[in-house]
Amino acid sequence: MSVTHEPKLISGNANMPLAKAVARRMSMHRGVNVGLVDARVERFNDGEIFVEVFENVRGEDMFIIQPTSNPANDNLMELLIMADALRRSSAKRITAVIPYFGYARQDRRTKARTPISAKLVANMIVEAGIERVLTMDLHAAQIQGFFDIPVDNLYASPVFALDVMTQFRDHLDDVMIVSPDVGGVARARELAKRINAPLSIVDKRREKAGEVAEMTVIGEVTDKICVIVDDMCDTAGTMCKAAQHLMDNGAREVHAYTTHGVMSGPAVERITGSVLKSMVITDTIQPTEAVKNTPNIRIIPTAPVFAQAILNIWNGTSVSSLFETPTLEPIYEGQFGT
């Protein structure tokens, strides 16, 4: 039986536009058509998921593109069932490309009798026959250790750095990178180092989950262009309160860069009515029409970096090279306008 010598992509329903964009980028790189494997991922009337692959995948290097975003359980089950279908069809290797890894916030026991759901999900992914995971900006870096298979965790900060240096090129000396909490300092520091900017922290204290009781700004933000950096924006409550608090402390203007635009519930309404001059998200989660139509939200594509990472994995070359600006600049050439 002959096999092709190109990586093969397959996608669930979680973010089909991203999967098609990755396929297009890979086609440009390879000079041959890299399309999505013809398959159907459907539901029976009772909600059960059914997968059928219409192409031969025996001996192929398969990449499943499927973020486990809302609805998290449905999209996770699609991923697992697609992996099982490919494994039973004798695929040579199965890599899960999970741009947004759901359940990542449950990475430790915060109190008695609570689960570590991220570890459970990792176990399920491995048991389904997936041999490698490619993701972006895990909520907690230690989640890589939950897997007994290789995990490549890409970072959005190198891409954000290119955008910041383009958008604020005439005012870079006034830019202040801000972490919205103490736990995100490492992520914010990484971006600050890349653009040679100072770092500030908004220390928040919660009375209960989802509600912030008190905020304190650590660092001098007076007359600064503050750029809040976070890995995800869910209901946007904390983000908008942090932006307002920075303005109250003398910031000239506030912008936000967040990798995963979860955008649940009142998020769009809050961002629209907030003091945020702009908010930049990526398309790791498929944006809704409301998000796309919000004037102060801008979306940066991740297809260029995921396409290159997939090719590097397939070729057996370095994925960490994508963390370097000289590698990323040609990949994103022409993407960042003024």
Show binding-site residues: 46-48, 105-106, 139, 181, 206, 230, 234-238
Closest Cα to residue 264, out of 100, 13, 70, 16? 70
**How far, in Å, CA of 276 to CA of 118, rounded?**
32
**How far, in Å, CA of 183 to CA of 204, rounded?**
10
Residue 208 among the catalytic residues: no
Q: Which element (helix H / strand E) includes 268? A: helix 267-272
* Strand blocks (E) in the chain: 8-11, 39-43, 49-53, 61-65, 93-98, 132-136, 151-154, 175-179, 199-208, 211-218, 225-233, 253-261, 276-282, 297-300
Catalytic residue among 111, 193, 204, 277: 204
Structural contact between residues 65 and 11, judged by C-beta atoms closer than 8 angstroms:
yes
Closest Cα to residue 136, out of 100, 190, 189, 95? 100
Please report, in range form, the residues annotated as the binding site for D-ribose 5-phosphate.
206, 230, 234-238
Structural contact between residues 310 and 22, judged by C-beta atoms closer than 8 angstroms:
yes
* Residues annotated as part of the active site: 204
